[in-house]
Amino acid sequence: MNESLAVVLMVAVGYLAGSFPSGIVYGRLFRGVDVRQMGSGKTGATNVLRSLGPRFAIAVGVTDVLKGLLPVLLALTLVGTPLAAVAAGFGAIAGHNWSIFLGFSGGRGVATSVGAFLPMAPIPTVIAVAAFIGVVASTRYVSLGSVVAALTALVTFLVTALFGVRYPSEYYVFTIAGALLIVVRHADNLARLRAGTERKLGEPAETARTSAR
């Protein structure tokens, strides 16, 4: 297959996989509710945790990771080029953030980014996840943990490259752009953190949407 065509195909596959609205589907299927009408109004695992509980949050989180992981693995298996992998990864993140099934709206793309990044750079991914867990455990701010994890992944990636790990040039683009996108998507959360109004993990959801996460 022509590489350009393969890259376009991988973007499409990634986007469709990423667009799967797991929070909406699980909420409606098992509880008959729309999580967009609860808590922050977002469809990711954080709002699902507040709205539906830990079992559903874990299911949504795992699904969102797989939405990034599987398209990248498919690209590496079928096409076998870094460009195809990055195309699939970007497609999946775009699908999650701007889902065709949700009127081109969506989440922050953190879990999907983790799944996409894992096959490209396993060590930075694991370290970033550890940083996320550490920050959330100590502060209970998921948004802060997400931003710290994104920056940790970027710094760790660059450090491991500096010390001899060879990454394809396409992976540099993915890492830098992916980390910056996560930070930008959390701009409102960061503003609330500075103002002291950001909601912590474990605080109950409200029926009306009062914040975004």
Task: Please tell me the pTM assigned to this model.
Answer: 0.91
Residue 208 confidence class, pLDDT cut points 50, 70, 90:
very low
* Structure confidence at residue 183 (pLDDT): 97
Mind listing the pLDDT tens digit for each residue in 55-96? Answer: 999 999 999 999 999 999 999 999 999 999 999 999 999 999
Q: Is 146 exposed, middle or buried (0-12, 13-18, 19+ CB in 10 A)?
A: buried
What are the structural domain ranges in the chain? 3-195
At residue 39, does pLDDT exceed 90? no
At residue 209, does pLDDT exceed 50? no
Phi, psi of 99 (to 5 degrees): -70, 135
At residue 206, does pLDDT exceed 70? no
Residue that wins the pLDDT comparison between 38 and 165: 165
Distance in angstroms (rounded) separating the CA atoms of residues 130 and 142: 13
Only one residue has tokens 């509880």, namely 31
* Structure confidence at residue 154 (pLDDT): 98
At residue 40, does pLDDT exceed 80? no
Q: Of 31-45, 96-110, 119-133, 164-178, where does mean pLDDT reach its minimum?
A: 31-45
Q: Is 189 exposed, middle or buried (0-12, 13-18, 19+ CB in 10 A)?
A: buried
Mind listing the pLDDT tens digit for each residue in 143-162? Answer: 999 999 999 999 999 999 99
